[in-house]
Amino acid sequence: TLADLKGLKQGNLRLAVTTTAKYFVPRLLGPFRQRYPGIKIFLKVTNRRRLIDRLAENLDDLYILGQPPAHLDISLCPFLENPLVVIAPHNHPLAKEKNISLQRLGEEPFIMREAGSGTRMAVESFCAKNGVSLNVEMEIGSNEAIKQAIVGGLGVSVLSRYVLALEGINGPLRILDVEGFPIPLRWYILYPGSKQLSIVAQTFLEYLLDEGPRIADQA
């Protein structure tokens, strides 16, 4: 349409992303809004299970999550890699070691995400596949709270590498070099299979696929 040609797209964009994707999606929205100031954005951030519930109820235009559900009729675009890494405080005795064994990891107090988290699901299937049992001492339903708990010396965890996007690996946290890690996850962009995307959602999907890799590289 003429409005499209003039870059005057208008309307609402409803996005829902997992708590790992919140570390770069908001950053991507900046240049998008600059390009399309007429588009109003609603961003929901929650865990994988709640996102799948929202998808089943068709509450949002686009979803970003890992490990897409098999039981729903969905359209699916593979998006960026989302490696899961072992995170410890900077002064942890294992921080300087190379090739730490899984058995040694299992001896550390471990902080696990809540049930319904895709991160937890991936950690549990990794452990089952590799015959590791973790020493789960705490369960916390937030990546940020887990980071604070790690800094507080309560244990180590396995989280998306993107949770370190702002402070990097020279801040208070370190990535441990543990055998078998990182766990190679990836995000997908999803929407209900039967749904015809709005022009606005289609525009954002194309923008994500074009610009996502470059912006994620800076994270």
Rounded to a whole number of angstroms, the minimum distance from the CB of residue 166 to ligand PGA is 18
Smallest gap from Cβ 4 to ligand PGA, in A, equals 32
How crowded is residue 114: how many other Cβ atoms within 10 Å of its Cβ?
Answer: 13
CB nearer to ligand PGA: pick between 19 and 203:
19
Residue 183 parent element (H or E): strand 183-192
In single-letter form, the type of residue at position 108 comes to: E
Nearer to ligand PGA, 17 or 178 (CB): 17
For residue 187, give both structure tokens. 């995000």
Interior/surface letters 8-38, b for 16+ CB within 10 angstroms, e for the rest: ebeeebbbbbbbbbbbbbeebbeebeeebee
Nearer to ligand PGA, 37 or 184 (CB): 184
What minimum distance in Å lies between the beta carbon of 19 and ligand PGA?
3
Query: In the numeric block, which tokens belong to residue 13?
Result: 């964009």
Footprint on this chain of ligand PGA (rule: CB under 6 A): 18-21, 47-48, 65-67, 82, 113, 117-119
Question: Among residues 160 and 203, whose Cβ is nearest to ligand PGA?
Answer: 160
We find the least distance from the C-beta atom of residue 55 to ligand PGA, in angstroms, to be 12
